[in-house]
Each structure stands twice: as C-alpha cells, then as structure tokens.
A and B are shown apart, each in its own frame.
Chain A
Amino acid sequence: MANYDGASLVKMFKAIATAIAAQKEHLCELDGKIGDADHGIAMALGFGAVSDALSELDMDGVAPTAVFNMAAKSFLNAVGASSGPLYATAFMRAGATAKGKISLAEGDFVAAFQAMAKGIEDRGKAVVGEKTMVDAWRPAAEAMAAAHAGGADLAASFAATVAAARKGAEATIDMVAAKGRSARLGERSRGHMDPGAASAVFVIEAMERGLDLSG
C-alpha cells in the first residue's frame, strides 16, 4: 500500500496538464459540434495555470490540501465560464477531505476522488444522463469506491475507474443535452460525445499515469 504526499499530487496535476494540452485541438473540435468550440482552450488554460502555480510551490513537506487548494484557485481564476467552477470545486472538496494529513493513504485518495465527483455534481447541479462531465465522473467514482471496498489496491481500482469513465463518456453520444450551453440544441446535440465528459476521461487517465499506477 502506497502513500501519496503533496509532491506526488503535484506530479499528478502536471500529468493532467500535459494530457490536456495534447488534447486541446481534439476537445475544441468536439465542442464545435455542440458548443462554442472553446472547451479545449478553457481546459488547457486552466490546467496550464495549475501547472504553473504548482511549480512555484516549495515542495518540501507540502501538504496534500495545499496542493489541491492551489490547483483549485489557479484553475478558477484562469477560466471562469463553466469548467472553472466545476473543477475548482472538485479540487477544493478533495483538499477538504485531506485536511491535516501529511500524506494520503490509498483509502484517503479514494475519499478525495469521491469528493471531486460529488463537488462537480453539486456545483453543476447535474446528474447522470444529462450529457455533461458528470456522465464520466459519477461512474468513475462509483467504480473506484466499489473496487476499493472489494479489497483492490489503488492501481487495480484505478483500472476500473478509467474503464468506467470511458464507458460513461461514450454513453453521452446517444444523449440529448439537458444542462449547459449545448442544452439549447435539444435533439441536435445527439450523436456527439459531450466534450466535458471527453476531457474528464483525459483527466482521470492522467491521474492514474501521474500517480504511477498505470499498468
């Protein structure tokens, strides 16, 4: 059983920033089908700001909560719009679960991940089936919780998590948007993957990679 300190979380966020930067054009193209074609720009701007802010941190003994909070703040101030509050809330809630801890045991990380999914749902007032990033985050969180409760270590749990996120994002293709700007398209939003769910998969995959858990 591994422990995750502040420095390993910084590494995780940098892996997310790298992944999102690589997918920026792809995410903009997806968003162009049902939105205003700027989701990749907003996400890259947000995680780029997170990466820059965390580079300034003194890594010596930095607490997990401080890393999550700095990630939240820098993402938010760089973006605004809708993705800013959603991811900022996710990271702030994760930070709250880690309060007072010097490092996260595997169960602590699972709790932080649950708080992220819950934070996104609470902030966006969205539920599964509305063609949003919740369609990736909610099944991912449930898969992780179930695997962990079944005795799997975090590496095995993450494999189930990523698979569930991908499946959830795929499912948005057949959905009609009920939340966010694409909701105005009604039926016309069907047939395209939700860009927020697509980027959520890249984020979750990069978390696994950044924590050195991918097999």
Chain B
Amino acid sequence: MRTRASGRTVGGLRTLSLQAPAVSLLLMWMLVPLVMTLWFSFQRYNLMMPSVSGFAGVDNYYYLLTDPSLWTAMGNTLLLVGWVLVATVVGGTLLAVLLQQEFFGRGVARLFVIAPFFIMPTVSALVWKNMMMHPVNGILAWVAGLFGLPAIDWFASLPLTSIVIIVTWQWLPFAVLILLTAIQSLDDDQVEAARMDGAGPVAIFFYITLPHLKRAISVVVMIEMIFLLTIFAEIFVTTSGGPGLASTNLAYLIYIRALLDFDVGGASAGGVIAIILANIVAFFLVRTVAKNLEN
C-alpha cells in the first residue's frame, strides 16, 4: 500500500475490493431513491390517470414552480424551522443553566424536562390538540377563562404558531440534554477566576458560559435543522396543513401532491426541490458549524 505525503492511503485493487460491500450498500441506500425520484419527476405519472404516461420534460417543474402553494410551503418550512430553532436554543440554554444549579429535587426536575423527548410525535400532537389547545376542553382555554379572557381556537387562528409550540415542546429536551452536558464540562476554575475578576452571574453567563456553549449550540442547530425540515406527523395530526395552506410545509405539500392528488410526478418534482433546498441550507450551515467546531 502506498502512502501519500498527506497520509491518505491510495486505494489499490485489494483495498477497493474490501471497501466495495460497504460503499455499494451506501450507494444503493442513497442513490436508488434519489435516481427514482429524479426519474419520476420527469414523468407523466398520475395514479388517477394511468393511461397518461411517458416523458413529461420539465412540465412537472413548471407547474410546481408557478404554483403559489410551493412558495407558501417553503416560507412555512423556513418559519417553522427558524422559530423552533430560536426557541429551543434560547430556552435550552437558559434551562440548562438553571438545571445546573444546586437545588432540592434537581434530579427529578431534569428527568421531567427531558421526558417530552421520549414521546412519539403523533402522541404529543394528539395530546396538544385535544388536551392543551382544544378551545373547549383544553387546559389553555381553561387558563384563559380564569383570567376572564376568551378561549383561543389555536389551530384555526394561529395554526403555524401552534405547530411551532408543539415542535418546540418536543425538541427543547434535546437541546437541554446536549447543552447541559456541555455546561457540566465547563471548568470550575474558569468561573472562579471570572468571579475574582469581578464578573457577576450575568457577566459570567455572557463571557464564560455562552462562549463555552458555542460548539454545543452549533451541534444542536445542525441536528435539529435536519429533523425540523421534515416535520410531518404534527401537521398531519393537528391541522392537516390548514386552514388553507397556512400550516403546510414542504414535506406536507409533497404528501398532498402524492397521496391526496395522486400526482406522483409532481410530488417527485417537489421532492427534488426539497433536496435542493436542504442542500443549500446544509451548505451554509455545515460550513459555519464545521468552522465553529474547528476552533
């Protein structure tokens, strides 16, 4: 085996043959769905009209891109991802700092904060829909009643906000978990040195804790972003993307196209657009995160 100056091994026939099973498995895993999606996106393929088939050119893309519902869905996707990220990172950091303090029952409190992460999305969405945000039976309506305020019909009047709240509730534990472990690795001496330097709790948070958490926060942002781009169950269970398209994100739009409109070709084109969007986001994100992790 020859070795380059960079220390990287140059694959000969032997090493290639050893790598082949893993590489081909991964290729199949990734390439087959991708190629199939690409293929369908250029086909006339509607389950309601089996007789109409064949190459469609860029028609699927044309109809999709000129359809205002795509842009609504894209906007909703970005809003959903953005607000959930902001809420989980800010809330997660503050909760992590809080749960790091010594207080009676800290262990139980930590368990309770982390618990929502173990609940499957469908169930949590049902709980929020029927027990929390329901305008008649919901706890939030009851609380509003205590103050003499009218109940809010969450999913009708604030559909996207409601979904942001549900998803934040689910993902906050993840952020807390990662950030809490990161906070625990903060050197006590550093905090004490800062105290000797005259830093109060607020200054310690901004000058010592937050810079220490920078890496962990970028990890949280990266991982959450991957999952939040594809939020589906919460929308399906609560608003079904409505009213109108008010809470339809890209994943839900593709679902509507493929399984409600039976337009496999158009849905595949939407899938390709989603892939491109995810890659654009990933390109900027991964670069900043990688830069962050290097330092």
* A-B interaction: no
Interface residues of A (CB under 8 A from B): none
